[in-house]
Amino acid sequence: MARRRARGKVALNAEINVVSLIDVMMLLMVIFMITAPLLTGGVDITLPKAAVRAAEARPALMVTVTRDGALLLDDVRVSAAELQSSLPALATSARGKAVYLRADAGVPYGDVLGVLATLRTGGIENVNLVAEPLETRR
């Protein structure tokens, strides 16, 4: 019979090497930090500043007037005629909802007033105007 040589027993390493996992996690975190601001959607407008209070969080219908005069209904571009024709249906669906009108600070006052008048004649009586709060100095 062949004899086996006795070898020294090697201790097992039971630790998990997490350094590479931390590297991957940090890389993913940097990628998410860079891409997260790009994912915010919406319309790029500069709201006028005024002494306003915060709006309460509830379902809302948003009508936006951009600097170039385009109308958006919940971030969907519509023409003035399309907005006016859809107002009777919107008036019934907006019951119990807040209706907000926001306009860029560079939009002439007459244009904003025209959209507000269109909303009111279409049956939406309670329209809230959106503004950016003034900065408070302490």
Report the candidate in 93, 56, 46, 96 with the shortest Cα–Cα distance to residue 74. 93
Checking if the pLDDT of 9 tops 80, the result is: no
Question: Tokens 């019979």 sit at which residue?
Answer: 1
Q: Has residue 33 been placed in a domain?
A: no
Q: How many domains does the chain have?
A: 1
Q: Has residue 21 been placed in a domain?
A: no
What range does the domain containing 79 cover?
49-133
- Strand 127-129's sheet: what is its strand order? 76-78, 71-73, 60-65, 98-103, 127-129
Report the candidate in 129, 45, 43 with the shortest Cα–Cα distance to residue 78. 43
Higher pLDDT among residues 13 and 63, named by residue: 63
Q: Has residue 121 been placed in a domain?
A: yes
Q: Has residue 59 been placed in a domain?
A: yes
As a whole-number percent, the residues of the chain with pLDDT over 90 amount to 13
Checking if the pLDDT of 4 tops 70, the result is: no
Q: What is the pTM of this model?
A: 0.60
Could you tell me the CATH number of the domain that includes residue 57? 3.30.420.270
Q: Has residue 43 been placed in a domain?
A: no
Q: Has residue 32 been placed in a domain?
A: no
Q: What residue type is assigned to position 50 of the chain? A: A
Report the candidate in 69, 65, 75, 130 with the shortest Cα–Cα distance to residue 98. 130
Q: Has residue 17 been placed in a domain?
A: no
Q: Has residue 14 been placed in a domain?
A: no
Checking if the pLDDT of 6 tops 80, the result is: no
Helix intervals (H) in the chain = 19-39, 80-93, 109-121
> Over the stretch 49-99, which tens digit does the pLDDT of each residue have?
777 777 666 667 888 999 888 899 888 889 888 888 888 888 887 777 778
Question: Tokens 């379902």 sit at which residue?
Answer: 59
If one counts every other C-beta atom within 10 angstroms of the C-beta of residue 134, the result is 10
